[in-house]
Chains A and B, each alone.
Chain A
Amino acid sequence: MLHHSYSDAYIRDILRSVRTIAMVGASPHWNRPSYFVMKYLQAKGFTVIPVNPVAAGQEILGEQTYATLAEVPGKVDMVDIFRNSEAAGPITDEAIEKAARVVWMQIGVRNDAAAARAEEAGLKVVMNRCPKIEYARLFGELGWSGANSGVISSRRRRIG
Chain B
Amino acid sequence: MPSPKNPYGIETLAVHAGASPDPTTGARTTPIYQTTSYVFEDADQASSLFNLQSYGYVYTRIGNPTVSVLEERIAALEGGRGAIATASGHAAQMLAMFTLLSPGDEFVAARRLYGGSITQFTRTFRKFGWNCVLVDPDDLEALRAAVGPKCKAIFVESPANPGGAIVDLEPVADIAHDAGVPLIVDSTMATPCLCRPLEWGADLVVHSTTKFLSGHGNALGGILVDSGRFDWSATDRFPSLSQPEAAYHGLRFHETFGDLALTVHGHAVGLRDLGAAMAPMNAFLTITGCETLPLRMERHVQNAQAVAEFLERHSSVSRVSYAGLPSSPYYERARKYMPKGAGAVFTFGVRGGYEAGLKVVEACEILSHLANIGDTRSLILHPASTTHRQLTEEQQIAAGAGPDVIRLSVGIESVDDIIRDLDQALAAAAS
Docked complex Cα distance between A153 and B123 (Å): 46
Q: Which residue of A lies closest to B41 (CB)?
A: A43
Docked complex Cα distance between A119 and B21 (Å): 38
Q: Which residue of A lies closest to B259 (CB)?
A: A107
CB of A30 closer than 8 Å to a CB of B: yes
Interface-forming stretch among A16-24, A67-75, A84-92, A136-144? A136-144
Indicate which residue in A31, A36, A140, A150 contacts B20 across the interface (CB closer than 8 Å): A140
CB of A147 closer than 8 Å to a CB of B: yes
Indicate which residue in B53, B55, B76, B82 contacts A141 across the interface (CB closer than 8 Å): B55
- When each residue 141-160 of chain A gets 1 if its CB lies under 8 Å from chain B and 0 otherwise, what string results? 11111111111111111110
* Cβ-defined contact, B248 with A152, below 8 A: no
Main secondary structure of the interface of A (DSSP, over half): loop
Main secondary structure of the interface of B (DSSP, over half): mixed
CB of B390 closer than 8 Å to a CB of A: no
Interface size of A as a range = 20 to 34
CB of B258 closer than 8 Å to a CB of A: yes
Q: Which residue of B lies closest to A107 (CB)?
A: B258
* Cβ-defined contact, B82 with A145, below 8 A: yes
Residues 85-111 of A contacting B (Cβ, < 8 Å): 107-108
Q: Which residues of B contact A145 (CB under 8 A)?
A: 55, 63, 68, 82, 260, 263-264, 267
CB of A33 closer than 8 Å to a CB of B: yes
Docked complex Cα distance between A154 and B19 (Å): 8
* Cβ-defined contact, B81 with A147, below 8 A: yes
Indicate which residue in A30, A144, A158 contacts B55 across the interface (CB closer than 8 Å): A144
Q: Which residue of A lies closest to B271 (CB)?
A: A146
* Cβ-defined contact, A30 with B51, below 8 A: yes
B6, B26, B76: residue with the most chain A Cβ atoms closer than 10 Å: B76
CB of A14 closer than 8 Å to a CB of B: no
Q: Which residues of B contact A11 (CB under 8 A)?
A: none
Beyond A30-B51, A43-B54, is A148–B81 a contact (Cβ under 8 Å)? yes
Docked complex Cα distance between A108 and B259 (Å): 11
Indicate which residue in A30, A108, A146, A158 contacts B85 across the interface (CB closer than 8 Å): A146
Indicate which residue in A130, A150, A154 contacts B258 across the interface (CB closer than 8 Å): A130
CB of B69 closer than 8 Å to a CB of A: yes
Residues 111-137 of A contacting B (Cβ, < 8 Å): 130, 133, 136
* Cβ-defined contact, A146 with B21, below 8 A: no
Min C-beta distance of A36 to chain B, whole Å = 5
CB of A39 closer than 8 Å to a CB of B: yes
Beyond A36-B52, A36-B256, A130-B258, is A147–B72 a contact (Cβ under 8 Å)? yes
Docked complex Cα distance between A33 and B6 (Å): 29
Interface size of B as a range = 35 or more
Q: Which residues of A contact B410 (CB under 8 A)?
A: none
Residues 41-94 of A contacting B (Cβ, < 8 Å): 43
* Cβ-defined contact, B80 with A148, below 8 A: yes
Q: Which residue of B lies closest to A153 (CB)?
A: B20
CB of B16 closer than 8 Å to a CB of A: yes
* Cβ-defined contact, B51 with A144, below 8 A: no
Q: Which residues of A contact B21 (CB under 8 A)?
A: 154-157
Indicate which residue in A30, A36, A133, A143 contacts B72 across the interface (CB closer than 8 Å): A143
CB of B149 closer than 8 Å to a CB of A: no
* Cβ-defined contact, B17 with A144, below 8 A: no
* Cβ-defined contact, A148 with B68, below 8 A: no
Indicate which residue in B63, B81, B255 contacts A144 across the interface (CB closer than 8 Å): B63
Q: Which residues of B contact A36 (CB under 8 A)?
A: 51-53, 256
Q: Which residue of A lies closest to B70 (CB)?
A: A146
CB of B18 closer than 8 Å to a CB of A: yes
Min C-beta distance of B54 to chain A, whole Å = 5
Q: Which residues of A contact B249 (CB under 8 A)?
A: 30-31
Beyond A33-B255, A36-B52, A147-B81, is A154–B16 a contact (Cβ under 8 Å)? yes
Min C-beta distance of B338 to chain A, whole Å = 23
Q: Which residue of A lies closest to B84 (CB)?
A: A146
Docked complex Cα distance between A141 and B56 (Å): 8
CB of B12 closer than 8 Å to a CB of A: yes
Query: 29 A-B residue contacts at CB 8 Å?
Result: A30-B249, A31-B249, A31-B250, A33-B256, A36-B51, A39-B54, A107-B258, A141-B55, A144-B56, A145-B267, A146-B75, A146-B84, A146-B85, A146-B266, A146-B267, A147-B260, A148-B72, A148-B76, A149-B18, A150-B6, A150-B76, A152-B8, A152-B12, A152-B13, A152-B17, A152-B20, A153-B20, A155-B21, A157-B21
Closest 6 CB pairs of A and B: A148-B75, A146-B71, A141-B55, A147-B82, A143-B72, A36-B53
- Excluding A36-B51, A152-B17, 16 further A-B contacts by CB distance (< 8 Å) are A30-B249, A31-B249, A108-B258, A136-B55, A140-B20, A143-B71, A145-B82, A146-B68, A146-B75, A146-B263, A147-B72, A148-B81, A150-B6, A152-B12, A156-B21, A158-B23
Please report A residues at the B interface, Cβ cutoff 8 Å: 30-31, 33, 35-36, 39-40, 43, 107-108, 130, 133, 136, 140-159
Please report B residues at the A interface, Cβ cutoff 8 Å: 6, 8, 12-13, 16-18, 20-23, 26, 45, 48, 51-57, 63, 65, 68-69, 71-72, 75-76, 80-85, 248-251, 255-256, 258, 260, 263-264, 266-267
